[in-house]
Amino acid sequence: MILPPGGFLTLGVLLLGLAWWGERRARRTEARAGRVLRPEAVAAAGVALADSAGATLRASRTGEQR
């Protein structure tokens, strides 16, 4: 009886291959999303940076006046 081990192993290898392919695809999508910056993300980061720079500047000026 050759069928059972062969059947189990073939199905197992197929599932492992599918899982590997799915994971590779997910990793690629993540990498692509990280490389290409979205405009709204850039805008949000710019606003936050400007806010923090403005706050620092204001704090330093207030210190000078005192």
Partner 1 sequence: MIELLWIFLSAMVINNFTLALFLGLCPFMGVSARVETALRMGAANIFVLVLTSLAVSFLNAFVLAKAPYLRIISFIVVIASLVQVVETVIKKLSPVLFRELGIYLPLITTNCAILGLAIFQTNRDYDLLEGLAFALGAGCGLTLALVLMASIREETELAEVPSVARGMGLVLIIAGSLSLAFMGFAGLLSAT
Using the rule CB under 8 A, is 61 a contact of partner 1?
Answer: no
Q: CB nearer to partner 1: give 17 or 46.
A: 17
Using the rule CB under 8 A, is 31 a contact of partner 1?
Answer: no
| Alpha-carbon torsion (34, 35, 38, 44), positive or negative | positive
Using the rule CB under 8 A, is 43 a contact of partner 1?
Answer: no
Q: Which of residues 8-27 bind partner 1 (CB under 8 A)?
A: 8-9, 11-16, 18-20, 23
Neighbouring residues of 21: CB distance < 8 A, sequence distance ≥ 6: none
Q: Where are the alpha helices (DSSP H) in the chain?
A: 3-35, 39-65
